Structure 1
Amino acid sequence: MAHAIHLKNNKYRQWVKAGLGLGYLKEGLAPFCDDIGKQQHNDIINQIQQTKTPQPNVPCSTCQITTLQPDHVRVSKGICPLKQDKCNCCFTNNKKPCPNNVCGAIYDSIIQYHASIPPAPFWKNSDVQQWSTEPWQVCKCFINAPGYKDKISADDTDCTGLIHVIINNKYFHSHIGCNVTGPNNLFSKVRLYRNEIFHSSNMELEESKANSYIDDMIVVLQDSKELVHRQDAQQAVGKLQDLKKKGFIITTEDFEDILRQIKDEMAKVLKSTENAATKSEEEYEDLKNRLTELKAQMSEAEKKHLELKRKFTVLETEQKEEIKRLMVEDSPQQNQLEYEKVKSGMFYRI
């Protein structure tokens, strides 16, 4: 059963509120990203089947990103016609074409749909052997950050990853009303909020800042092209608007969700630290320091969580004793009335 928490520290309440906002933003974006990702995958496969000779054999589950030969051919040594840096077409040793005549074409499509200049798909997030059958494995190539290898669906991906897909995948741009690639565009601003929220070492936010974050999340979910017409997105808008109300309630389940988000952030930073070990010393040290901060933050959050659970245990024990007393001492009619009162009051503000 979820219990309600009234946190006395208002800045901490605002930090939790902003964290919950990220979760609601993800709820509103995930179904949209899932639908558009499936449409894109269907279009890619249909296009390949209509234009490739010999006829592609779908599915394929044998190719590897390190050895896959793309369909396109380099212009000259080290020059990719699709302008991708370090493209497989430029390093032909040990590269071999897809035996089913499909994966090389999907590789080309991913590059052509990538919005960055030069295009920079993040191949390590994806499993090539599932490209021909799993749309989200293609979408994950547009998440230009580590930590998403094990995410199997849009629903399994945090809001930062979903916004990466929207910004970096040109196929999604035709389904968004605003310009997602221009300077200071709203989607890019909101993408950074996760870092700003979870990089707060004291887990505190001013109310005005938390409300500003939530307002921008609402605007994203009310994008005029399609999101504003989607029921799931607008249900998430309603939840975000409720967060801004003065008497909003935080449940233990909400608090545990924040803990999960911090753990997920820690896992991503740890992965980045491992990847940066071979890069600059300054970048490596920055990531190590960030990981240390997150561990301390997680420890403090868990302490607060345990204290809240202890309080709930006391409250539940008191409620059970009161129910027993009522059932023994009062009349049958009064018993039922008081029982229903106590039962309906299982949510507390503390």
Structure 2
Amino acid sequence: MASYSPKLSEKKYNNWVKAQLAVLFTKDGLEPFVCHEVQEFRLKCLDHICFNNGLMSGTLCSNCCTENVIKCPTNKICNVGHGRCSYHRNAATRYNPAGCPNKICHNFTTEIQNVHRFYGPSYKNTDATQWCSNSWEIAKCFMPPDGYTDVVSAQETDFNGIISVIINYKEFQLKVHENLGNKNNIFEKARDIGRNLRHSPTLEVEDIDLHQYFIVFQQLLSDAGYLATDMHAQNAKQKLIDLENDTMVIGKDDITKVLDDVAKAARDTIKDDLKRTSETVKEDMIKRRKEDLHSLGSKANEELQKIQTKSDDSLKTIKTKTDNSVKDIEKARDNSVQIMHLKKEDIEEKVKTESKKITEECERAVETIKDEGDKGRNDLANFAETVEKTLYTRITDDKKKQYNDNKQSK
């Protein structure tokens, strides 16, 4: 290994590099232990599921995506604030209430849920299609909910993720002496140290803090439950001792590894921040669009209401005018009928009067005929002819006058 200066230009920066190396060595010592336990959990789950559901041993499934077996809404995963879940986003990624057709995947969620210390697996990290074949996809359920979607192995997982699996997977309590339910347990302390170092704004560590870090990491690797006798853990512990005592030469590759790890952490943080910012911007855009649509809808409703009001007013005006016109027409018709009726009655009355006069004259003529004999009969005949012509003329004149009156009134 190429030698690097045993004394870096700045003491505090040198301490920070040592602390970061201590984190990496501790992680290397824990990886095999964690991988083995997660692998055992996967195999135990499959045996348990097959036995309880009467399935043939070795039955697997790779068809169900995580969304299909996670109910909607699920806390910290589903976003349904705008009426549409961003996790169960389409037909292919909807929750399947009928469960896995092979009776595997939805039972896997139950197994994972039951062994999570806080009953809140990070399903957003994992790909359920690989649960039957890739143990690390199961391990990701016990890591923090952000920043672990793309990691595919323990080697790609940072110290925080590895420690989180130990703390959150309850079965680890059977393999460690430390009480993992205690908030101040040695694993929690180690995780806090790793977080502080990765997000250090100055890349500096004081001597007293560095000494405390070494104590915590060595105690963790010496846990009496399992790690105290684990070869990988004890090799990592020896590296810590050598690093603390300056008997280990810090090589260029070690510095590069530390800086790459920090850079990755920074990129992940930026990516997560950008993702959250993007989601926030998207939500704001959706909110503004809905507000604009609501505003447009309100304005459209107002305009429609105005148009409706004007239409109603116009219809009322037309109806009123139509009703008045109809009334005028009916009134004129009634007047015409009344006039015609009156004229008819006048004509009938005149005919009756004239007929009466004629009758009276005829009676007088008969008397005269009786007196005058033949002369009277001739005169009577002539007189009757004259009366008939006169009566016809009068009636004809009255009818003509009635016709002219009706024509003028129309």
TM-score over 0.5 for the pair: yes
AA in 2 matched with 1:196: N
Q: How big is the alpha-carbon RMSD for the aligned residues of Structure 1 and Structure 2?
A: 2.6
Q: Write the mapping of 1:70-109 to structure 2, written as runs, cut at 5 A.
A: 85=75, 94-96=94-96, 97-109=99-111
AA in 2 matched with 1:206: E
Q: Do the aligned partners of 2:46 and 2:58 also contact (CA within 8 Å) in 1?
A: no
Shifted more, 258-267 versus 268-277: the winner is: 268-277
AA in 1 matched with 2:110: D
Deviations 1:95-151 (A, max 9, x none): 3221221001101111111101xx211112111100011111111100024222222
Cα distance in 2, alignment partners of residues 145 and 211 from structure 1: 31
Cα distance in 1, alignment partners of residues 183 and 70 from structure 2: 35
Partner of 2:14: 13
Cα distance in 2, alignment partners of residues 142 and 268 from structure 1: 18
Cα distance in 1, alignment partners of residues 9 and 274 from structure 2: 39
Q: Do the aligned partners of 2:222 and 2:228 also contact (CA within 8 Å) in 1?
A: yes
Partner of 1:134: 134
Q: Do the aligned partners of 1:56 and 1:100 also contact (CA within 8 Å) in 2?
A: no
1:69 offset after TM fit, Å?
A: 6.0
Deviations 1:244-268 (A, max 9, x none): 1145421100110111111221122
Cα distance in 1, alignment partners of residues 76 and 3 from structure 2: 53
Percentage of matched positions with identical amino acids? 29
Partner of 1:194: 194
**Structure ID, larger Rg:** 2
Cα distance in 2, alignment partners of residues 114 and 224 from structure 1: 23
AA in 2 matched with 1:201: P
Partner of 1:255: 255
Partner of 2:203: 203
Cα distance in 1, alignment partners of residues 208 and 77 from structure 2: 46
Q: Do the aligned partners of 1:56 and 1:102 also contact (CA within 8 Å) in 2?
A: no
Cα distance in 1, alignment partners of residues 77 and 174 from structure 2: 27
Q: Write the mapping of 1:1-350 to structure 2, written as runs, cut at 5 A.
A: 1-6=1-6, 7-53=8-54, 55=56, 58-68=59-69, 85=75, 94-96=94-96, 97-116=99-118, 119-246=119-246, 248-277=248-277
Structure-2-length-normalised TM-score: 0.60
Cα distance in 2, alignment partners of residues 44 and 29 from structure 1: 23
Deviations 1:292-343 (A, max 9, x none): xxxxxxxxxxxxxxxxxxxxxxxxxxxxxxxxxxxxxxxxxxxxxxxxxxxx
AA in 2 matched with 1:112: N
SS in 1 for 2:66: coil
Structure-1-length-normalised TM-score: 0.70
1:159 offset after TM fit, Å?
A: 1.5
Cα distance in 2, alignment partners of residues 87 and 150 from structure 1: 17
SS in 1 for 2:68: coil
Cα distance in 2, alignment partners of residues 55 and 107 from structure 1: 20
Report how many aligned residue pairs link the two structures.
266
1:274 offset after TM fit, Å?
A: 3.2
Q: Do the aligned partners of 1:55 and 1:101 also contact (CA within 8 Å) in 2?
A: no
AA in 2 matched with 1:102: I
SS in 2 for 1:4: coil
Would the alpha carbon gap of residues 144 and 200 (structure 1) be closer, same or farther in structure 2, given more than 3 Å must change?
Answer: closer
Higher relative contact order (CA 8 A, sep 6+): 1
Would the alpha carbon gap of residues 275 and 192 (structure 1) be closer, same or farther in structure 2, given more than 3 Å must change?
Answer: farther
Point out the structure with the larger helix share: 2
1:278 offset after TM fit, Å?
A: 6.9
Deviations 1:58-95 (A, max 9, x none): 3211111222267xxxxxx98xxxxx74799xx99943
Q: Do the aligned partners of 1:58 and 1:132 also contact (CA within 8 Å) in 2?
A: no
AA in 1 matched with 2:68: T
Q: Do the aligned partners of 1:114 and 1:168 also contact (CA within 8 Å) in 2?
A: yes
Q: Do the aligned partners of 1:193 and 1:213 also contact (CA within 8 Å) in 2?
A: yes
Partner of 1:287: none
1:183 offset after TM fit, Å?
A: 2.2
Q: Do the aligned partners of 2:227 and 2:233 also contact (CA within 8 Å) in 1?
A: yes
AA in 2 matched with 1:137: E
Q: Do the aligned partners of 2:160 and 2:195 also contact (CA within 8 Å) in 1?
A: no
AA in 1 matched with 2:138: V
Would the alpha carbon gap of residues 246 and 120 (structure 1) be closer, same or farther in structure 2, given more than 3 Å must change?
Answer: same
AA in 1 matched with 2:143: I
Q: Do the aligned partners of 1:176 and 1:223 also contact (CA within 8 Å) in 2?
A: yes
SS in 2 for 1:43: helix
Q: Do the aligned partners of 2:124 and 2:145 also contact (CA within 8 Å) in 1?
A: no
Q: Do the aligned partners of 1:131 and 1:138 also contact (CA within 8 Å) in 2?
A: yes
AA in 2 matched with 1:99: P
Gaps of 5+ in 2: 79-84, 282-410
Q: Do the aligned partners of 1:57 and 1:100 also contact (CA within 8 Å) in 2?
A: no
